Amino acid sequence: MSSTAPVADVRAISRAAAPISQAGELRSSRIESLRAVAALGVLVGHTFAIARAYHGTYNGLRNQLISGGLLAVFLFFTLSGYLLYWPFASHAFGEGIRIDLVRYVRNRALRILPLYYVVLAVLLAFDPFNAHRSDWWRFALFIESYAPRTVERLDSAMWSLSVEVQFYILLPFLAAAIAWLARRSAPRAIAIVLILAAASFALRLRDVILPAGTTFSALSGPLSLPTLFYFFATGMLIALLRASWQRRPPSRPRGVFASPDAWILLAVALWCLAAVDPKREPLIAASCFLIVAGCVLAPAPGVLVKVLDWRPLAAVGLASYSLYLWHVPLLVLLSGARFVFPPGELGRDLSPPQSFGLLLLTAVPVCLAAAFGSYALIEVPFLRLRRRWFPR
């Protein structure tokens, strides 16, 4: 390959990546595999926590690394930042077409709402998990994380959906503001996103990482978009770098910087450091950036990136949304965990500890079977409806 055309290299890698079909739409196997890695990491982390009845889950290096699987939820935020902002960045700073906002809203609604409301209805009907059924409207509006009587109840994994939906709503306005301020300058847009990310991190550092206590607030709490935006910003930066490189290719990197395997290995090392100490949370953001950038921007193929082309793993990624929403209720059912929620406090697991290995061996096939069934019966029909509305 020519040393003066790294963008062509990136495009060649993209074309070489085996696609996988999602209800008739071709998707990148590598991106779907990253979704699978994130969902499976969260599944392992929750399985370990529930098996140990949330006692001593961070005692010792082994426990810290296993519990670190829960940090994989932040990879979803980076992927959303990149995938959803890329069309906006491509139009504003590259050669992309203008974004149809009506199409954008319908796409997001068809992708997120049907399965979410089915899970919500099933759990409210059969096992509200210490939630009050009268609070259904808080869950329906994705604001359950900002009230003590609903936070982490019903399905604790739902908190990230609340943050995602807020980002979906904000993104078109944010993209328009960045485009207007940057005046078609991708470097200027990168600077703007970096400033926003720094402000978000400063808020999280002040109100979440450093304080000993936790306040669940919509503006500054640990589960709020303002304090979590810097994770989405890592994906937005990847989109802007890609758009910038299409217009003005940089010189081709050399040595380890030319290998996506090096990027991913560094990301894993940072992830392990963050798992050992929760106050090292910024390392998670850097890790997520390197993992996704290694699949999108790296100028040469790598062994680890090619592993992400493995179709069975990518297939799990297609069903990762179902896996993510169903796994906690299934784990509670399989383990027999008993949670109580004292007034003003988070839940406590009163069940005795059990074998993590045995619960994991049971939970993985059950959760995967439920995820694929849910994907086929609930998600696919609405994804096909999206194709009917938007055939291109």
Rounded Cα distance between 54 and 343, Å, is 19
- The one-character DSSP state at 348 is E
For residues 238 and 197, the answer to whether their CB atoms sit within 8 Å is no
Q: Which residue has the tokens 């900002």?
A: 146
Rounded Cα distance between 193 and 240, Å, is 9
> What sign does the dihedral 176-179-183-184 (CA atoms) show?
negative
> What sign does the dihedral 149-155-160-166 (CA atoms) show?
negative
Looking at per-residue pLDDT, the higher value among 263 and 41 belongs to: 41
pTM: 0.91
For residues 256 and 298, the answer to whether their CB atoms sit within 8 Å is no
Judged against a pLDDT cut of 70, whether residue 191 lies above it is answered with: yes
Rounded Cα distance between 189 and 144, Å, is 33
Judged against a pLDDT cut of 80, whether residue 295 lies above it is answered with: yes
Q: Using one digit for the tens of pLDDT, what is the confidence trace for 30-52?
A: 999 999 999 999 999 999 999 99
Q: Which two tokens stand for residue 169?
A: 């709503």
Rounded Cα distance between 219 and 224, Å, is 6
Q: Using one digit for the tens of pLDDT, what is the confidence trace for 348-367?
A: 776 888 999 999 999 999 99
Rounded Cα distance between 275 and 262, Å, is 20
Which phi and psi (to 5°) does residue 313 adopt?
Answer: -65, -40
Q: How far apart are the first and last CA of the chain?
A: 32
